Amino acid sequence: MRAAILEKLYNWSVVPYQYFKKNEAWQFNAEELKKYPSDSLGYHMGKFLVANSFQLQEKLESHDVFHVLTGTGITVPEEISMQFYLMGNGKRSLYLFTVICIGSMLYPEYWRQFLSKYNCGKSALPFHQLDFQKLLNQPIQRIKSTFLIS
């Protein structure tokens, strides 16, 4: 039931959120991303999308990059924990704060995990604002080590 509530809220919010995003949509799909070198961010993005039967969502591509770079899964508590990680990393948005507030209320038993992810994000160098499309050719391990992403 808790997951259904958050999924419904997400479905209601995704189109308005996309509308207000200023970045350009990427012109790739998952299979095209998998053609990047096997050690690259692009390849790992494609692999993540295919493994989860996802396609890139217009103007929301960085969300999937965050999953790939932080190694965060796609369950609802993991999605919430990733928002805590991003808050620790310095990201600020109405969407992030909404997910954190509602997620904390609906999943109080994950509070330790959320706090741990917040601290991981705080320990990493700020990367949430990068133009990841320009980094698709870069080795994923280089990105993670440069920004201390764990």
Encode pLDDT of 98-127 as tens digits. 899 999 999 999 999 999 999 999 999 999
Residue-wise pLDDT for 50-87, tens only, equals 999 998 887 678 999 999 999 999 999 999 999 999 99
Determine the Cα–Cα distance for residues 143 and 90; give it in Å rounded to an integer.
17
Q: Give the Cβ contact number of residue 134 at 10 Å.
A: 8
Instruction: State the pLDDT at residue 121.
Output: 98
Q: Are 97 and 113 in contact (CB under 8 A)?
A: no
**Cβ 43 vs Cβ 34: under 8 Å:** yes
Is residue 12's pLDDT more than 80?
Answer: no
Q: Which residue in the block uniquely carries the two structure tokens 């109080």?
A: 108
Mean of pLDDT values over 19-46? 87
Q: d(Cα 35, Cα 121) in Å, to the nearest integer?
A: 30
